[in-house]
Amino acid sequence: MNDYRTNRPRTDILEELRQQGRFSDFFLLAWGIIEWRANECILKAHDLSSQDPKSKPLLKLSVGSKLKKLKDLGVLPVAAYEIVNQFKMKRNDLVHRDALFILGLSEPEKEEIYDMGMHAADAMHELIRVAVR
């Protein structure tokens, strides 16, 4: 991954958390953005509201399944899917360990995750921007 601290399309809380070294907060927020945008986009792709009972099966899908479905529908470009999926796989690897994952990460590992998270969040922000047109 390229160093993502420059030429960012926007300045937001993720960038501030990174600058403050608040890795845990960054990590959780980046994942939250992905989940939130995946839900919005999957509903938009099916022209449903979250209040519609037909939306429940879609919203119960895993994030990975939502992303794959969005990619298969042509809503999520393949390049964006790969960016978000890479962060998802890294997140799953770290979260599903039996120990506290943050304590064992080196600064270079954290920097790589910061870059991955920013790329993934930006891809999801762009997706919803395009989807709501």
pLDDT band at 99 (very low <50, low <70, confident <90, very high): low
DSSP label at residue 20: T
CA atoms of 37 and 126, how far apart (whole Å): 10
Contact indicator for 58, 48 with CB cutoff of 8 Å? yes
pTM of the model: 0.85
Residue 47 confidence class, pLDDT cut points 50, 70, 90? very high
Please give the pLDDT value at position 12: 82
Q: Which two tokens stand for residue 3?
A: 């160093």
What's the length of the chain? 133
pLDDT greater at residue 88 or residue 5: 88
- Predicted confidence band of residue 49 (pLDDT cuts 50, 70, 90): very high
**Confidence band of 100 (pLDDT split at 50, 70, 90):** low
In the predicted model, is pLDDT for residue 1 greater than 60?
no
